A and B are shown apart, each in its own frame.
Chain A
Amino acid sequence: MVTVIHPNLEKTDAKMNAKDVSVYYGDKMAIDNVSIEIPTKYVTAFIGPSGCGKSTFLRTMNRMNDTIPSARVEGEITLDGEDIYKSKMDVVQLRARVGMVFQKPNPFPKSIYDNIAYGPKIHGIAEGKDELDAIVETSLQRAGLWNEVKDRLADSGTALSGGQQQRLCIARAIAVDPEVILMDEPCSALDPIATAKIEELIADLNGSYAIVIVTHSMQQAARVSQRTAFFHLGKMVEYGRTSDIFTNPLEQRTQDYITGRYG
């Protein structure tokens, strides 16, 4: 069975391209033959019931699954046409280009400043203190956090509220100027106000990066994304423009899921 692609999906520039990707944990298949193009300057949402493999697929896109010894990937994923699973791939470089924001905010137990400066420092992006200061400031500004923390940059990042921590993590990810940002349920640990802030932030970032967001909230997917992919049992069932998926799903399972008839 293959993915149903909506017919009126216009052609866009693909930033990343997955072709026939399957992922296994040991012998167990978690992703079954998924192909998808991630367009530049758009937000793509992955939706689907729990355990269908959204996180797994997301993690294959910046090779974070390398940290799981039993995980194995088949197929091809390219970034700007370059296979990221080829043996000569510099994973460190890849992850600087494809950033990731996790479900639970995970600031380092360092100062706010050092949290943001972490990436630029290890990648040697900033030359000198002034440039580093500038990167910290613009990253925090883009994440909409600057005004709240500018007087307490030396405070620990873990002392912020949950929503602020998550924005700090987003600021940290954009500080290394990635091309793609992967977000795995970035709002699931947050209250509605903090969620609204993050969604606003995603809308602001849209247009500069290719963003992929995993979410369990239909409303959120509808609000922030232009493309939506529906996953079920490791397969990508349906893919198309967000408006099409939500108003005119072609597959029964998609219909059931978005109308809440499916767990």
Chain B
Amino acid sequence: MSPAILLLLAVGLGLAGWIAARSRAWAFKREAAAGERLAALPTYHAWYVALWIIIPMTLFIILWATTSPYLINQSVLASDAAAGLPAVDFQREALLREARAVADGSRPGVFNQDAKVLIEPFREAISRNNLIGILGSLIVGFLGGVWSFLRLKPDFTARTRVEKTVMSILLLASLVAILTTLGIVVSLVFETVRFFGMVSPIDFLFGTHWGPDPMANPENPDPTRYGAIPLFWGTIYIGAIIAMIVAIPLGLMSAIYLTQYASPKLRSWLKPALEILAGVPTVVYGYFAALTVAPFVRDIAVSIGISNASSESALAAGLVMGVMIIPFVSSMADDSIAAVPQAMRDGSLAMGATTSETIKRVLVPAALPGIVAGIMLAISRAIGETMIVVMAAGAAANLSANPLEAMTTVTFQIVAMLTGEGSFDHPATLSAFALGFVLFLVTLGLNFVALRVVKRFREAYE
């Protein structure tokens, strides 16, 4: 008996309750004296009962579905057949799993003869459990339905109650996203703490050499190989410096052109066209960077006499990332320039300022908080970007200011460490979590500050 079928049952029962409650409410209406009205429309009565059936049943089904595998195992282990099972944990687990698969029909037969005796107890436990599922959910649904049905009266405020329920469901939906994020953070913190138990945070945050060896003895890792400064530097150099040198001027200028000079018609297709850039998959930018821009950069470097230029460079990755980020900068700048009141612009023009003077001296200063916030969001996007650097920046953890050298970033190393050869509890692998945690904190900080700035800015013009 799968939970899906039980849920279907809940919906069916709910529908029955809905219909019953509705006809009951109609009956109230007919009995009511002329001119009297029900406190709520019949549909609200119907929904009230339906929700009282469906929600408790769903909750029960979820509870049942999550606990039943454990309960089944327990009852099988308690049976006589389980007495002869090996004591070693994983052997016992394997046997149980095998017997169970046969019992629920997902495997034709056992491979391990020892599992055979367990099949029958499993069959029994499963069918008993199914019975509990069906009966339990039916009883819960029935009780909910009857209880709510008995509450229906002509003056029953079903409408406000349904409203409250709808609100709680919506609240729950938004909590799911938040709780998931929290869960991610907690797991990140957990692994990070484990990592810092092996390598000290000082070595990690301030060391200048990065080269974890996943094959080394995990018991005493060499802390000098876990210095993340080159990664932080690579990330900042590519994402916050080179990319921004490209994205800030281009993004700002296109925003200014779009808000101040472009005719409405031109604007109406130029702006969406620019925003499409934000929708290009980053892997596409990645191979553009790796296959087109990087060789081009190298050729130029060679032609001006830098013979050892590598084909992977911070410059190539940064340039392409900058282009990718342009829409982020420009759309925020566009919004905040457009939000500066027309009166401000008129005031400046009426003083005899030209359009460009007005932009430079009035509009951009007035829109500056919004523009800065946009840049911060863009930076946080850039430093979290992975594909482009994986494909074009290289893996060498160089601490250098030369943009033609290969560099690596935090995101690249997270990928490299997690997909590397190290076992899961090796410090090399765990370092990925510490890196991810640092990245998370930095982007969270940037976004937080940016959103506050934007909010303050909005208030200034309201």
Report which A residues bind B (CB closer than 8 A).
62, 64, 67, 69, 92-96, 99-100, 102, 104, 106-110, 118-119, 122-123, 169, 172-173, 176
Q: List 29 A-B contacts (CB under 8 A).
A: A62-B350, A64-B349, A92-B353, A93-B352, A94-B352, A95-B349, A96-B351, A99-B350, A100-B350, A102-B346, A102-B350, A106-B341, A106-B343, A106-B344, A106-B346, A106-B347, A108-B344, A108-B347, A108-B348, A109-B366, A109-B460, A110-B365, A118-B348, A118-B353, A122-B357, A122-B361, A172-B347, A173-B350, A176-B352
Q: Does B354 contact A (CB under 8 A)?
A: yes
Indicate if the CB atoms of B353 and A122 lie closer than 8 Å.
yes
B453 / chain A contacts, CB cutoff of 8 Å: none
A100–B460 alpha-carbon span in the complex (Å): 24
Measured CB to CB, the closest approach of chain B to A117, in angstroms, equals: 11
A110–B366 alpha-carbon span in the complex (Å): 8
Q: Does B362 contact A (CB under 8 A)?
A: yes
Indicate if the CB atoms of A67 and B349 lie closer than 8 Å.
yes
A64–B351 alpha-carbon span in the complex (Å): 10
Residue of B nearest to A182 (CB): B350
Measured CB to CB, the closest approach of chain B to A99, in angstroms, equals: 7
B341 / chain A contacts, CB cutoff of 8 Å: 106
Indicate if the CB atoms of A64 and B346 lie closer than 8 Å.
yes
A106 / chain B contacts, CB cutoff of 8 Å: 341, 343-344, 346-347
A93–B263 alpha-carbon span in the complex (Å): 25
A62–B351 alpha-carbon span in the complex (Å): 10
Indicate if the CB atoms of A64 and B350 lie closer than 8 Å.
yes
Residue of B nearest to A169 (CB): B347
Q: Which of A69, A92, A102 sits near B347, CB closer than 8 Å?
A: A102
Indicate if the CB atoms of A95 and B351 lie closer than 8 Å.
yes
A236–B101 alpha-carbon span in the complex (Å): 95
Measured CB to CB, the closest approach of chain A to B372, in angstroms, equals: 15
Measured CB to CB, the closest approach of chain B to A20, in angstroms, equals: 25
Measured CB to CB, the closest approach of chain A to B293, in angstroms, equals: 40
A123–B263 alpha-carbon span in the complex (Å): 28
Q: Mark B332-366, 1 if CB is under 8 A from A, else 0.
A: 00000000010111111111111001000110011
Measured CB to CB, the closest approach of chain B to A145, in angstroms, equals: 17
Measured CB to CB, the closest approach of chain A to B366, in angstroms, equals: 5
Do A95 and B352 contact each other (CB < 8 Å), given the known contacts A122-B357, A122-B361?
yes
Measured CB to CB, the closest approach of chain A to B57, in angstroms, equals: 59
Indicate if the CB atoms of B366 and A108 lie closer than 8 Å.
yes
A173–B350 alpha-carbon span in the complex (Å): 9
A232–B345 alpha-carbon span in the complex (Å): 29
Indicate if the CB atoms of B351 and A109 lie closer than 8 Å.
no
Measured CB to CB, the closest approach of chain B to A93, in angstroms, equals: 7
Measured CB to CB, the closest approach of chain A to B363, in angstroms, equals: 10
Indicate if the CB atoms of B346 and A92 lie closer than 8 Å.
no
Measured CB to CB, the closest approach of chain B to A139, in angstroms, equals: 12
A107–B344 alpha-carbon span in the complex (Å): 7
The CB with the most chain A CB atoms within 10 A, among B345, B347, B361, is that of B347
Shortest 10 CB-CB contacts between residues of A and residues of B: A96-B352, A95-B352, A106-B343, A100-B350, A106-B347, A119-B351, A109-B366, A92-B352, A122-B353, A122-B357
The CB with the most chain A CB atoms within 10 A, among B346, B352, B366, B460, is that of B352
Q: Which of B343, B357, B361 sits near A102, CB closer than 8 Å?
A: B343
A109–B346 alpha-carbon span in the complex (Å): 14
A176 / chain B contacts, CB cutoff of 8 Å: 351-352
A69–B265 alpha-carbon span in the complex (Å): 12
Residue of B nearest to A91 (CB): B352
A62 / chain B contacts, CB cutoff of 8 Å: 350
A108–B365 alpha-carbon span in the complex (Å): 10
Kindly list 5 other residue pairs between chains A and B, CB separation below 8 angstroms, not including A67-B346, A118-B348.
A62-B350, A67-B345, A119-B351, A172-B351, A176-B351
A9–B344 alpha-carbon span in the complex (Å): 39
A135–B427 alpha-carbon span in the complex (Å): 69
Measured CB to CB, the closest approach of chain A to B359, in angstroms, equals: 12
Indicate if the CB atoms of A173 and B366 lie closer than 8 Å.
no
A99 / chain B contacts, CB cutoff of 8 Å: 350-351
A55–B361 alpha-carbon span in the complex (Å): 26
B343 / chain A contacts, CB cutoff of 8 Å: 102, 104, 106
A64–B342 alpha-carbon span in the complex (Å): 12
A110 / chain B contacts, CB cutoff of 8 Å: 365
Residue of B nearest to A120 (CB): B351
Residue of B nearest to A62 (CB): B350
Do A119 and B352 contact each other (CB < 8 Å), given the known contacts A108-B362, A109-B365, A110-B365?
yes
A169–B347 alpha-carbon span in the complex (Å): 9
A251–B312 alpha-carbon span in the complex (Å): 84
A104 / chain B contacts, CB cutoff of 8 Å: 343
B353 / chain A contacts, CB cutoff of 8 Å: 92, 118-119, 122
A173 / chain B contacts, CB cutoff of 8 Å: 350-351
Q: Mark B363-378, 1 if CB is under 8 A from A, else 0.
A: 0011000000000000
A93–B354 alpha-carbon span in the complex (Å): 10
A67–B350 alpha-carbon span in the complex (Å): 10
B348 / chain A contacts, CB cutoff of 8 Å: 108, 118
A100–B362 alpha-carbon span in the complex (Å): 17
B345 / chain A contacts, CB cutoff of 8 Å: 67
A193–B351 alpha-carbon span in the complex (Å): 27
The CB with the most chain B CB atoms within 10 A, among A67, A99, A176, is that of A67
- Chain B residues 420-447 with CB under 8 Å of chain A are none
Indicate if the CB atoms of B347 and A95 lie closer than 8 Å.
no
Residue of B nearest to A90 (CB): B352
Indicate if the CB atoms of A122 and B351 lie closer than 8 Å.
yes
A173–B365 alpha-carbon span in the complex (Å): 21
A176–B365 alpha-carbon span in the complex (Å): 22
Measured CB to CB, the closest approach of chain B to A104, in angstroms, equals: 6
- Chain B residues 151-209 with CB under 8 Å of chain A are none
Measured CB to CB, the closest approach of chain B to A180, in angstroms, equals: 12
Measured CB to CB, the closest approach of chain A to B28, in angstroms, equals: 54
A69–B351 alpha-carbon span in the complex (Å): 20
Do A123 and B349 contact each other (CB < 8 Å), given the known contacts A108-B362, A110-B365?
no
